[in-house]
Amino acid sequence: MDNPKIAQKMPYLVDEQPGKKAWCSCGLSTNQPYCDGSHKGSGFVPKIEEITEEKKVAWCGCKHSANGAFCDGSHSKL
């Protein structure tokens, strides 16, 4: 798999608590925006992000953000 699957063409807005989160980079997870292990054998790995405070996070849903796990608006160009 060369390119990630577009899970959705908008961010996942989540009220997050502090802690480590495993963001799905392949787009195959059924637990978006988080990794559920569906990437196995695809060449993709989850991106581990440390959330240090309670806040709303815009996780990238299209998997094409230049800002890694976080939305940068790239979905509007797909």
Residues 20-32 pLDDT 10s:
999 999 999 999 9
Is residue 5 in a domain? no
> pLDDT digit string (tens) for 41-55?
999 999 999 999 999
19 occurs within a structural domain: yes
Rg (CA), the chain: 12
Q: Report the 10 Å Cβ neighbour count for 28.
A: 20
* Stated pTM of the model: 0.93
Q: What percent of the chain has pLDDT over 90?
A: 97
**Can you tell me whether residue 58 is helix, strand or coil?**
strand
Q: Is 60 contained in some domain?
A: yes
In a domain, 78, yes or no: no
Tell me whether residue 7 is in a domain.
Answer: no
Distance CA 14, CA 77 (A): 23
Rounded CA-CA distance 51/28 in Å is 23
- Expressed as residue numbers, the domain containing 64 is 12-68
Whether 74 maps to a domain, the answer reads no
